[in-house]
Copies of this chain bind each other. A is one copy, B any other.
Amino acid sequence: MKIFHHCLPCFARQAVEAAEMSTDDPELQEKIIRAALKKASEIPFDKSPPHMGKEIHRIIKSLLGDVDPYKSLKDLYNKKAMDLYPRMKETVAAADDPLETAVRLAIAGNIIDFGVSVKNNHFRLIDVIEDTLKRPFAVEQYQEFKEDVTNAKKILYAGDNAGEIVFDRILIEEIPEFKEKVVYVVKGSPVLNDVTIDDARDTGLTDIVEVIQNGSDAPGTILEDCSDLFLKTYREADTVIGKGQGNYETLSEFCEKCYYLLKAKCPVLARDLKVGVGDIVLKKQEPFA
């Protein structure tokens, strides 16, 4: 998905929020915001939106060094989600179709997204879970998904955010032979509240499946930025699971074997997917022309 005009106000908001989260120094905040706006004025519109997220956080790093302003929020949501893990396991165990329920839970976890806005925290996870368990899918290709993940020899699961990773774990644990075939992917370095290797360790993902870093600092999966190790695994995989908006935005023009699992939180992406804001989506990539 490419950058639309209406992404630009959102980039400006991300820059302001990230600047204010990263430093208390008003002069540095101003420098970050001005540099980000200038960068936004020059960004090619044929890139995907996460290119701009990457640039904002590169500006912050260039001015402040290796900071991770979202760290405490990430830890908080990892903990909140881990607290819900036993209850989610019970829900899955009691379900008629545990895999389908696990898919829904993985999508519910996609609410934890501070790219959409750091002020996007007025939800109670338990309410979102209950809503997502009974909400009709706006796009639903569950039968194909079930078949493909069951038959796949290697599945690459591109993670999205901290906290959400625990919900991904619930889904991964319902995939037949997950220990052997699922490779979970985290970002190469911190950007927004995206998952990193620390989050995978803190939430036990590293204990159950192979976890690799993608080598990139973008809030999505920009293939040309990714490491050789990631690209090798990506090529070998029969099925890719792209979790959340950032992965849809970056992979939807490149990855023919991808399933997108997400909750549509932004009107631009919702329009691209022909769904409504708030809708839940399990979509298989359409074949390229």
Report B-chain residues with C-beta under 8 Å of the C-beta of A15.
8
- Which of B10, B16, B29, B41 has a CB less than 8 Å from the CB of A37? B41
Partner among B5, B13, B16, B42 whose Cβ is within 8 Å of the Cβ of A16? B5
The answer, yes or no, to whether A11 is at the interface (CB within 8 Å) is yes
| CB-contacts of A25-43 with B (<8 A) | 29-30, 33-35, 37-38, 40-42
Contact with B along A1-27 (1 / 0, CB 8 A): 000011011111101100110000000
Q: Is A45 an interface residue (CB 8 A)?
A: yes
B16 touches A6 (CB 8 A): yes
Closest approach, in angstroms, between the C-beta of A143 and any C-beta of chain B?
Answer: 38
A5, A15, A29, A35, most chain B CB atoms within 10 A: A5
Distance in Å from the Cβ of A264 to the closest Cβ of chain B? 18
| Distance between Cα atoms of A85 and B256 in the complex (Å) | 60
Residues of B within 8 A of A6 (CB): 13, 16
A41 touches B45 (CB 8 A): no
B contact residues around A13 at 8 Å (CB) = 6, 9
A110 to chain B, nearest CB (A): 23
Cα of A42 to Cα of B20 in the assembled complex, Å:
19
Q: Which chain B residue has the least Cβ–Cβ distance from A14?
A: B9
Select which of B8, B9, B11, B19 is within 8 A of A5 by beta carbon. B19
Q: Which residues of the partner chain B approach A37 to less than 8 Å between Cβ atoms? A: 8, 12, 37-38, 40-41
What residues make up the interface of A, taking CB atoms closer than 8 Å to B? 5-6, 8-13, 15-16, 19-20, 29-30, 33-35, 37-38, 40-42, 45
- A30-B45, A38-B41 given; name 11 further pairs at CB < 8 Å: A5-B16, A6-B13, A8-B33, A9-B9, A9-B12, A9-B13, A9-B16, A12-B12, A12-B37, A12-B40, A41-B41
